[in-house]
Amino acid sequence: MRRTMLFLPGNNPNMIMNGGLLGSDSIIFDLEDAVAPDQKDAARELVKSALQTLNFGKCEIIVRINALDTPYWEDDLEEMLPLKPDVIMPTKVSGAEYMAKLVAKMDEVEKKNGIPVGSTKIIPLLETTLGIENAYAIGTSTKRMAALYLGAEDLTADLRCQRTKEGKEIAYARGRLVCAARAAGIEAYDTPFTDVEDLEGLEKDARLAKGLGYTGKAVISPRHVSCVNKVFSPSAKEIAYAQEVFEAIRYAKEQGKGAISLRGKMIDAPIAQRAKIVLDAAAEIGGLLNE
Amino acid sequence: MYPADSIHLNKNGKIKKEELAKMKIIKAAIAGTVESSDVMISVMPGEGKVDIDLNSKVGMYYQDEILKVMKEVLQELDVPSVKIKAVDKGALDCTVRARLKTAIKRAAGEAK
């Protein structure tokens, strides 16, 4: 379950040491934008040492690496993959060709280190206009693909427009990315809300993303974690309805009925599937029974 | 705890020095910061021995532990001669280890 992905600057020990205690489902050790070019070596060493030593509990471990047009990405993979992070997050991903180059290197490093080839998943950051237009090709480019993740800051620079809290300028990209991800059978993650103080704006932004079909959202501040977790968790009403759906299915089976209805509405396969997703999520978050 | 490719033990658990090339400190280098939970480590070419000057805000309680971690790193990287100055602001062992490794690799001209 991945409702929140919290960025931790890769060269900041104070943030890293508390990474597992901040309530996010995933933590992203950032070797890219949060690390100055002359500190890439220090950040890799610090993240390596932290991953070898510290316990991050149930948090999924993601490492954001530098883009393929930099001199850093191969060293990032050489040093990070042996530590078996759950996910590698490549940046500025532009298309299937980019992914093929990355995957070839990951295959090589995994093989060299005795790690099952293909076991490290990928969540690419799509933050260029070309990346957005190629979203489906990227999403279907490798079996390693776990999700697509929208990065709006670089994207709006590429679009040559202002980034706003309302986000009208990224409406197309948000729709395109979530549609491509769902068509590829993978998850979709929304861009961070960058005003750390504006928790009301954050909630509105997260609800918008959830309404579009996003699975969760990246966050750049620990202060944003609980709000985003709450938005992307199923509500008590959603859980109760999902339980009613399964109760109706069970009852119809008992009665030998082919058609199933609940409160006068037909229960079809998509409704049952959605109910299952809600109950699976509830079970993972709160330990609720999932029947 | 250590990356498998960076330390070699014989049957008695001792490091097999002959399998490791000595890391020579050829210039001064620094790693880390003086922010909370970090340690700033400066290394310089030594005079045939390891010389550590540690200034830690938690030194009263953890000086021995910090020195032990630093000596382990020096042994692991096979650095027989170096001068180290460390200003510690409450760094965890993993941070001390990372910062010292970074400083040494930079000082040996091996930083990537």
**Residue of B95, B105, B106 for testing the chain A interface, max A β-carbons within 10 Å:** B95
Residue B9 has pLDDT above 60, yes or no: no
In a shared domain, residues A206 and A225: yes
- Cβ contact B3–A14 (<8 Å): no
The whole-number pLDDT of residue A235 equals 86
> Which tens digits make up the pLDDT trace of A181-194?
999 999 999 999 99
ipTM over 0.90: no
The boundaries of the domain holding residue B29 are 22-107
This prediction has a pTM of 0.88
**Residue B112 belongs to some domain of the structure:** no
Helix, strand, or coil here: B63? helix
In a shared domain, residues A114 and A202: yes
The whole-number pLDDT of residue A220 equals 96
Domain CATH number, residue B99: 3.30.230.10
Q: How far apart are the first and last CA of chain A?
A: 18
CA A116 distance to own-chain centroid? 23
| Single-letter amino acid, residue A197 | E
The residue of chain A with its CA nearest to that of B38 is A13
In a shared domain, residues A250 and A122: no
- Which of A203, A231, A259 is the endpoint of a domain? A231
In a shared domain, residues A244 and A144: no
Instruction: Choose the closest CB to B94 out of A40, A44, A53.
Output: A53
CA dihedral A5, A9, A14, A18 (to 10 degrees): 10
B111 CA to chain A: closest CA distance, Å?
6
Q: Please report the number of interchain residue pairs, chain A to chain B, with beta-carbon separation below 8 angstroms.
A: 59
> Which tens digits make up the pLDDT trace of A140-173?
999 999 999 999 999 999 999 999 999 999 999 9
Residue A216 tokens, joined:
């969760």
Environment class of residue A219 by beta-carbon count within 10 Å: exposed (0-12), middle (13-18) or buried (19+)?
A: buried
**Residue B32 belongs to some domain of the structure:** yes
**Residue B5 belongs to some domain of the structure:** no
**Residue B9 belongs to some domain of the structure:** no
Residue A226 has pLDDT above 80, yes or no: yes
Number of other CB atoms surrounding residue B63 within 10 Å: 14
In a shared domain, residues A79 and A206: yes
In a shared domain, residues A210 and A157: yes
Number of other CB atoms surrounding residue A242 within 10 Å: 23
Across residues B86-101, what is the average pLDDT? 97
Computed on alpha carbons and rounded to an integer, the radius of gyration of chain B in Å comes to 14
**Residue B45 belongs to some domain of the structure:** yes
The boundaries of the domain holding residue A266 are 236-286
In a shared domain, residues A149 and A210: yes
Instruction: Choose the closest CB to B112 out of A41, A50, A54.
Output: A41
Q: Cite the beta strand spans of chain B per DSSP E.
A: 29-31, 39-45, 50-56, 82-88
**Residue B16 belongs to some domain of the structure:** no
In sequence order, what DSSP letters do the residues of A244-291 get, joined into one string? HHHHHHHHHHHTT-SS-EETTEE--HHHHHHHHHHHHHHHHHH-----
In a shared domain, residues A142 and A188: yes
CA dihedral A161, A165, A168, A172 (to 10 degrees): 80
In a shared domain, residues A272 and A215: no
Do the Cβ atoms of A234 and A278 come closer than 8 Å? yes
Query: Tokens 């509105």, residue?
Result: A204
The whole-number pLDDT of residue A126 equals 98
Residue numbers of B between 52 and 71 with CB closer than 8 Å to A: none
**Residue B10 belongs to some domain of the structure:** no
- Cβ contact B102–A82 (<8 Å): no
Taking phi over 0 as left and psi of -120 to 50 as alpha, with beta for the rest, A88 belongs to: beta
In a shared domain, residues A108 and A241: no
Q: Cite the beta strand spans of B15-93 per DSSP E.
A: 29-31, 39-45, 50-56, 82-88
**Residue A221 belongs to some domain of the structure:** yes
Instruction: Choose the closest CB to A14 out of B35, B99, B102.
Output: B35
- Cβ contact A49–B31 (<8 Å): no
Instruction: Tell me which residues of chain A have a C-beta less than 8 Å from any C-beta of chain B.
Output: 12-14, 17, 40-42, 44-46, 48-50, 52-54, 75, 82
**Residue A291 belongs to some domain of the structure:** no
**Residue B28 belongs to some domain of the structure:** yes
In a shared domain, residues A212 and A276: no
Total domains, chain A = 2
CA atoms lying within 13 Å on the CB side of residue A196 = 6
Residue A9 has pLDDT above 60, yes or no: yes
Total domains, chain B = 1
**Residue A102 belongs to some domain of the structure:** yes
Residue B90 has pLDDT above 70, yes or no: yes
In a shared domain, residues A153 and A218: yes
**Residue of B77, B89, B92 for testing the chain A interface, max A β-carbons within 10 Å:** B92
User: Residues of A with CB below 8 A from B35's CB?
Assistant: 12-14
pLDDT tier, B21 (very low <50, low <70, confident <90, very high otherwise): low
- Which of A211, A231, A251 is the endpoint of a domain? A231
In sequence order, what DSSP letters do the residues of A25-79 get, joined into one string? SEEEEE-STTS-GGGHHHHHHHHHHHHHH---TTPEEEEEPPPTTSSSHHHHHHH
pLDDT tier, A214 (very low <50, low <70, confident <90, very high otherwise): very high
